[in-house]
């Protein structure tokens, strides 16, 4: 150990309590930062995943061009058997075919224009949370039954309940007139007014009859086990589509551009909080080091009188801060890792989270995800800001006159 | 050859409204190898003169030459370098870095001078032995008596063999026996290493050791005489 390092270390312990208070503040902030950032980065994944699993899916097979301009005629032939082949290829049940159309939907009293989705009753619950959000009635009883599921807001608007009949009027695949009836068998509450107001589902067999689809549909929704496996699943799906040139596989970033940014922007307030925490630590360091420099005025004066230059004394002060911050970093990050690691295994929930989870058919626990980034980001910023905070006390030494400093008590 | 030449030094201090005279047209020459005492009552300007010679404080006017160097013309950095490399300082008290042991105190300044580690540990050991602190190298200042602390300060001042040692009231906090021992050490170093000593003091025990005794009052030199039979080391 060099003399400077030895001096720095011993100087810190001249005021044990003061040093521990400052180091304690660092430990506390680092602990909080490691945990929160890990949780936050973990929740990005979770929120993206949840958002996709509610309806869009991790990826979709579509006819090329459908995503840009969703036309009735941009459809996929023999969609149900294709969905079956994809399911076999992936060894994964979370694959479901859908058709999309528009229809004027009327009860005895009122009419509304709706988006009508034809779904596979057996597989749709595996790619979407919507079927799980049915609060009255139930899901479809068959592939071809004349049944319809609508949102709670729409049910109120149409003044219908379970067992009531709705009339659907729209245009079919070939542009011809399409008309039919369906019995309301389920009412869902997604909590998203737009969906609860303007979306309805039919079993895909009946949907195809009604709209003259002749076995066609518009997309096949596919979920991978989790977000990180989307890419490999996409490769695997592409191999099933080798002989279907007109079809493409689109992943979620293409299907929902902006989702990632929207979710990350949601955390701006968290970043602001971290900023406040870091500034508080920096001020505590500034205060500590300013006091420690002031009370050593005479000592520094003697050293300067002997010919030690201010730069050297300044670097002593910064070394002291670095040692202190290093302690705070090591202990804080370590405790943060232990705590976060534990919670990443057992999960973490906040009051009210379970209610929300139940209402929106979402997971009821969050799992922070530890990574080098989530461990090091917070503590290293704290470290850097602590060092920055000690620059001012260090710079003050350049204005010290040895003679005046030595006259100080 | 003169070691120190001061010509017409003036220095005033301002304290509130009051202008205080520190040095009032002081001129002296001190020869290399001399052993000089600056004496005079408190406030007479001893420290101010010593600080001017050592480049710790700049006079308002006048010239100072130490060896070949015009001290009054140097900037802050070169002054610090001169103090570091050419002059040994001993102050009244609390000279030492409290968190460092006796040995580390000596080595620290050597390290700042850029002396190699091997040399540092070797010479610090020898010099502490020479000032009579063998076996106490690893004590911190708080574990040493006032006299022992001053010896560490002396060791630190002379370890790199400066031509000049400036001491400001080095015995002020010492009892008579310890003060005498410290002066004996100074005389010995003056004789054996040919180091020039300028000691500011109002302690008559110290003045007895001076080869040359300069008396000051109100920032002026009022007498300057060679002493024929200064006290010498009894060994
Ligand atoms: N930095 C200073 N500010 C104001 N007055 C000072 C300062 N340094 C010295 N003085 C004044 O200058 C005079 C000479 O001081 P000094 O050289 O310390 O005397 P001595 O060392 O002989 O006691 C004293 O009156 C002292 O109060
Ligand atoms: Mg004085």
Question: Which of helix, strand or coil describes residue A104?
Answer: strand
Tell me which of A400, A407, A408, A409 to substitute to probe ligand 1's pocket, judged by most ligand atoms within 8 Å of the beta carbon.
A407
A408 — contact with chain B (CB < 8 Å)? no
Q: Which residues sit opposite B217 in a β-bridge?
A: B220
- In this prediction, residue A1 carries a pLDDT of 61
Answer whether residue B235 shows pLDDT above 60: no
Inter-chain residue contact A307 with B98, CB threshold 8 Å: no
Q: Which atom of ligand 1 sits closest to the CA of residue B41?
A: 22
Inter-chain residue contact B112 with A307, CB threshold 8 Å: yes
Give the span between the Cα atoms of B200 and B40, in whole angstroms: 9
For A358-378, what is each residue's pLDDT tens digit? 666 667 777 888 889 999 999
Residue A259: pLDDT band with limits 50, 70, 90:
confident
- In this prediction, residue B2 carries a pLDDT of 55
Q: Where are the domains of chain A?
A: 3-52+259-406, 59-223
Determine the distance in angstroms separating the CA of A311 from the nearest CA of chain B, rounded to an integer. 11
Give the span between the Cα atoms of A49 and A47, in whole angstroms: 5
Answer whether residue B234 shows pLDDT above 70: no
Give the span between the Cα atoms of A19 and A10, in whole angstroms: 11
Sheet arrangement for strand B212-217: B87-90, B164-168, B196-200, B35-39, B212-217, B220-226
Answer whether residue A265 shows pLDDT above 80: no
Cβ atoms of residues A284 and A25 within 8 Å? yes
Inter-chain residue contact A3 with B111, CB threshold 8 Å: yes
Residue of A nearest to B157 (CA): A306
Inter-chain residue contact B91 with A305, CB threshold 8 Å: yes
A171: closest CA among A70, A99, A72, A69?
Answer: A72
| Centroid of ligand 2 to alpha carbon of A308 (angstroms) | 22
Cβ atoms of residues A182 and A146 within 8 Å? yes
The region that residue A26 occupies, defined by phi over 0 for left and psi between -120 and 50 for alpha, beta otherwise, is alpha
Ligand having the closest approach to the CA of B14: 1
Instruction: Please state, for a pLDDT cut of 90, what percent of chain A lies above it.
Output: 73
> Which element (helix H / strand E) includes B28?
strand B18-31
For A192-246, what is each residue's pLDDT tens digit? 888 899 999 999 999 999 999 999 999 999 999 888 889 999 999 999 888 888 9
Cβ atoms of residues A184 and A151 within 8 Å? no
Instruction: Please state, for a pLDDT cut of 70, what percent of chain A lies above it.
Output: 98
Structural tokens at position A80: 């149900």
CA A210 to chain centre: 39
A7 — contact with chain B (CB < 8 Å)? yes
pTM over 0.80: no
Residue B230: pLDDT band with limits 50, 70, 90:
confident
Q: Which residues sit opposite A161 in a β-bridge?
A: none
Residue of A nearest to B89 (CA): A306
Question: Which of helix, strand or coil describes residue B87?
Answer: strand
| Centroid of ligand 2 to alpha carbon of B51 (angstroms) | 10
Give the span between the Cα atoms of B187 and B182, in whole angstroms: 9
For A71-122, what is each residue's pLDDT tens digit? 999 999 999 999 999 999 999 999 999 999 999 999 998 999 999 999 999 9
A313 — contact with chain B (CB < 8 Å)? no
Residue of B nearest to A4 (CA): B108
For B25-83, what is each residue's pLDDT tens digit? 999 999 999 999 999 999 999 999 999 999 999 999 999 999 888 999 999 999 999 99
For A3-25, what is each residue's pLDDT tens digit? 889 999 999 999 999 999 999 99
Question: Which of helix, strand or coil describes residue A78?
Answer: coil
Cβ atoms of residues A152 and A196 within 8 Å? yes
Structural tokens at position B23: 């040095």
* Contact pairs from chain A to chain B, CB under 8 Å: 60
For strand B87-90 and strand B164-168, is the pairing parallel, antiparallel, or unpaired? Answer: parallel
Task: Among A47-51, A205-209, A272-276, A281-285, name the one with the lowest average pLDDT.
Answer: A47-51
Cβ atoms of residues B200 and B233 within 8 Å? no
Give the span between the Cα atoms of B37 and B215, in whole angstroms: 8
- In this prediction, residue B1 carries a pLDDT of 45
* Chain B neighbors of A11, CB-CB under 8 A: 99
Answer whether residue A302 shows pLDDT above 90: yes
Determine the distance in angstroms separating the CA of B177 from the nearest CA of chain A, rounded to an integer. 26
Substitution target in B97, B157, B200 with the highest count of A β-carbons within 10 Å is: B97
A208: closest CA among A322, A28, A76?
Answer: A76
A339 — contact with chain B (CB < 8 Å)? no
Structural tokens at position B60: 């308002």
Residue B178: pLDDT band with limits 50, 70, 90:
confident
Give the span between the Cα atoms of A233 and A239, in whole angstroms: 10
Q: Kindly state the average pLDDT of the residues B211-216.
A: 95
Buried b / exposed e over B214-224, threshold 16 CB at 10 Å, is: bbbeebebeee
Give the span between the Cα atoms of B200 and B49, in whole angstroms: 9
Cβ atoms of residues A310 and A293 within 8 Å? no
Inter-chain residue contact A309 with B95, CB threshold 8 Å: no
For A131-190, what is each residue's pLDDT tens digit? 999 999 999 999 999 999 999 999 999 999 999 999 999 999 988 899 999 999 999 998
Answer whether residue A406 shows pLDDT above 90: no
Mean pLDDT of chain A: 91
Answer whether residue A49 shows pLDDT above 80: yes
Q: Kindly state the average pLDDT of the residues A280-308.
A: 94
B9: closest CA among B221, B225, B224?
Answer: B221
| Centroid of ligand 1 to alpha carbon of B43 (angstroms) | 5
CA A239 to chain centre: 30
Give the span between the Cα atoms of A5 and B28, in whole angstroms: 44
* Chain B neighbors of A306, CB-CB under 8 A: 83-84, 89, 109, 112, 156
């Amino acid at each position: 150990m060099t003399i400077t390092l030895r001096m720095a270390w011993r100087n810190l312990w001249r005021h044990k309590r003061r040093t521990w208070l400052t180091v304690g503040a660092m430990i506390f902030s680092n602990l909080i930062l490691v945990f929160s950032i890990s949780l936050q980065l973990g929740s990005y994944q979770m929120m993206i995943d949840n958002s996709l699993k509610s309806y869009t899916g991790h990826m979709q097979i579509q006819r090329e061009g459908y995503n840009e301009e969703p036309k009735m005629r941009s459809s996929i032939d023999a969609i149900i058997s294709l969905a079956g082949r994809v399911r076999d290829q992936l060894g994964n049940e979370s694959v479901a075919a859908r058709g999309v159309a528009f229809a004027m939907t009327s009860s005895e009293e009122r009419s509304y224009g709706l988006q009508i989705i034809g779904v596979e009753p057996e597989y749709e619950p595996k790619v979407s949370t919507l079927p799980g959000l049915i609060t009255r009635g139930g899901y479809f009883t068959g592939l071809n039954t004349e049944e319809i599921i609508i949102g709670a807001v729409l049910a109120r608007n149409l003044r219908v309940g379970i067992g009531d009949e709705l009339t659907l009027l729209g245009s079919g695949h070939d542009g011809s007139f399409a008309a039919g009836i369906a019995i309301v068998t389920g009412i869902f509450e997604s909590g998203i007014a737009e969906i609860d107001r303007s979306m309805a589902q039919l079993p895909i067999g009946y949907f195809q009859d009604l709209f003259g689809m002749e076995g066609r549909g518009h997309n096949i929704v596919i979920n991978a086990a989790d977000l990180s496996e989307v890419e490999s699943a996409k490769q695997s799906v592409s191999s099933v589509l080798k002989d279907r040139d007109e079809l493409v596989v689109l992943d979620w970033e293409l299907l929902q551009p902006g989702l990632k940014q929207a979710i990350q922007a949601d955390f701006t307030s968290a970043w602001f909080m971290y900023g406040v925490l870091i500034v508080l630590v920096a001020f505590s360091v500034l205060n500590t080091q300013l006091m420690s420099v002031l009370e050593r005025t005479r000592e520094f004066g003697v050293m300067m009188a002997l010919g030690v230059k201010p730069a050297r004394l300044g670097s002593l002060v910064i070394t002291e801060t670095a040692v202190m911050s290093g302690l705070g970093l090591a202990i804080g990050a370590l405790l943060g890792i232990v705590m976060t690691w534990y919670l990443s295994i057992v999960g973490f929930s906040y009051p009210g989270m379970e209610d929300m989870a139940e209402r929106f058919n979402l997971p009821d626990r969050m799992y922070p995800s530890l990574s080098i980034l989530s461990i090091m980001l917070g503590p290293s910023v704290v470290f850097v800001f602590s060092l920055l905070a000690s620059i001012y006390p260090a710079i003050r030494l350049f204005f010290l006159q040895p003679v005046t400093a030595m006259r100080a008590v | 050859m003169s070691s120190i030449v001061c010509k017409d030094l003036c220095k005033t201090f301002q304290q509130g409204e009051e202008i205080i005279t520190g040095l009032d047209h002081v001129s002296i020459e001190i020869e290399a190898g001399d052993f000089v005492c600056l004496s005079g009552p408190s406030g007479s300007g001893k420290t101010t003169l010593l600080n001017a010679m050592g480049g710790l404080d700049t006079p308002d006017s006048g010239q100072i030459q130490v060896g070949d160097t015009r001290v009054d013309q140097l900037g802050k950095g070169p002054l610090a370098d001169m103090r570091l490399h050419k002059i040994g300082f001993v102050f009244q008290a609390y000279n030492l870095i409290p968190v460092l042991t006796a040995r580390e105190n000596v080595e620290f300044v050597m390290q700042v001078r850029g002396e190699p580690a091997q040399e540092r540990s070797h010479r610090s050991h020898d010099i502490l032995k020479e000032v009579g602190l063998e076996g106490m190298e690893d004590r911190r200042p708080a574990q040493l008596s006032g006299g022992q602390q001053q010896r560490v300060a002396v060791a630190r001042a002379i370890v790199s063999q400066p031509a000049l040692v400036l001491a400001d009231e080095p015995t002020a906090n010492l009892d008579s026996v310890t003060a005498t021992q410290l002066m004996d050490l100074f005389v010995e170093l003056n004789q054996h290493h040919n180091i020039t000593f300028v000691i500011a003091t109002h302690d008559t025990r110290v003045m007895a050791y001076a080869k040359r005794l300069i008396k000051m009052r109100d920032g002026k030199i009022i007498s300057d005489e060679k002493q024929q039979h200064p006290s010498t080391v009894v060994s």
